[in-house]
């Protein structure tokens, strides 16, 4: 019984820092999970939705003005009239 008490005292008091460091080292493990998604199927196995690659493209509208784009022959940005708007609002005489 004395051996057990001595060993308990050694583990809990004397070597507590070393065991705590080992425990911290093995407590957390990092690994990367790929975020693969699958398809959604109905009960007959027919695909209702599937994952596809998608890209998000944005543009700054200020870069498309002739002044900002620094392109000598850039067309000016003026509103174009659509055929519908000119049909609804005929020019007044």
> Domain locations in the chain?
38-70
Give the per-residue pLDDT at 73: 63
Tell which residue, 37, 72, 64, has the closest CA to residue 51.
37
Give Cα 16 distance to the centre of its chain.
42
DSSP states of 47-72: EEE-----------GGGGSHHHHT-T
Tell which phi-psi region holds residue 81, choosing left (phi > 0), alpha (psi between -120 and 50) or beta.
beta
Give the per-residue pLDDT at 43: 93
The tens place of each residue's pLDDT in the chain, 93 residues long, gives 889 888 888 888 888 888 888 888 887 778 887 777 788 899 999 999 888 888 888 887 777 776 666 666 655 655 555 555 455 555 554
Tell me the three state secondary structure of residue 46.
coil
Q: What is the pTM of this model?
A: 0.26
Tell which residue, 42, 38, 65, 68, has the closest CA to residue 52.
38
């Amino acid at each position: 019984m004395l051996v057990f008490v001595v060993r308990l005292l050694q583990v809990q008091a004397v070597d507590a820092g070393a065991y705590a460091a080992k425990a911290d080292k093995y407590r957390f493990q990092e690994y990367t999970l790929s975020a693969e998604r699958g398809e959604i199927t109905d009960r007959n196995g027919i695909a209702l939705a599937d994952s596809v690659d998608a890209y998000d493209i944005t543009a700054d509208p200020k870069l498309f003005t002739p002044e900002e784009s620094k392109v000598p022959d850039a067309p000016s940005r003026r509103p174009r009239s659509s055929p519908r708007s000119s049909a609804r609002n005929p020019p007044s005489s």
